[in-house]
Amino acid sequence: MHRAFDPAQLPDHKLRRLYNYWWSRCRNGAMPSRRDIDPLDIPDLLPNLFLLDVVGNAEDFVFRLAGSLVEDAFSMPLRGKSITEIQKAAGTPIPVAQHIEVARGGGPRYREGSVLVAGRDHLRTQRLLLPLSTDGGTVDVLMGGAIFLLGNGIRETRAEPWTYARPAGDPPLGF
């Protein structure tokens, strides 16, 4: 497996650190599983971290975990809530095209843009999405990091296509 993109292009050191941590957990050309991620290795990133379980063929995503800064940005507890539920509560669509691309094997994705939650349009986010897989082939969890800033603007970075090859592993564990 080759690096999907150069983490040096990520504007925030926490996102670069998260990407490099994820990359260090990739073994033998395979993406890591949730079980390969140890929160004790990255305690300073936990407020910015979130885990999303992939539902079906990426029809929806459910928050398994959301750090305190992520929940603050959405003004609600997120654990156990689906993106669909959050969209209804927010009253605005949340763009999930990159979530779907990552979940369907497209590799990591980075995005900058507005936080699309009522009353939070003054916030801008820098978000990194990374795939996790229990069986090494099917993405079943997205690990993400989000940095929240004041301002506007959108920039997206696409990863090059890549493949995964990994023997079947244990099911992911929750935090």
Query: What CATH number did the domain enclosing 145 receive?
Result: 3.30.450.20
Confidence class for position 151, pLDDT limits 50, 70, 90: low
What dihedral angle (degrees, nearest 10) is formed by the CA atoms of 71, 85, 136, 7?
-40
Is 69 contained in some domain? yes
Nearest to 62 by CA among 80, 45, 46, 43: 80
Are 35 and 126 within 8 A, CB to CB?
no
Residue 146 has pLDDT above 50, yes or no: yes
Distance, CA of 79 to chain centre: 14
11-26 average pLDDT score: 95
Domain count, the chain: 1
pLDDT computed for residue 158 by the predictor: 42
The encoded tokens of residue 75 equal 């003004």
**Residue 101 domain-assigned?**
yes
Residue 83 domain-assigned? yes
Choice between 50 and 5, residue whose per-residue pLDDT is larger: 50
Asked, for residue 165, whether it belongs to a domain, the answer is no
What six digits make up the tokens of 14? 């926490």
Whether 74 maps to a domain, the answer reads yes
Q: Is position 163 within any domain?
A: no
Res. 157 pLDDT band, cuts 50 70 90 = very low
Q: Please tell me the least confidently modeled range out of 1-5, 22-26, 101-105.
A: 1-5
Residue 95 structural domain: 46-158
Most confident of 49-63, 84-98, 115-129, 140-154: 49-63
> Taking 50 as the threshold, does the pLDDT of residue 163 lie above it?
no
**Rounded to an integer, what distance in angstroms lies between the CA atom of residue 132 and that of residue 140?**
6
Percent of residues, the chain, with pLDDT higher than 90: 54
Mean pLDDT of 92-116: 86
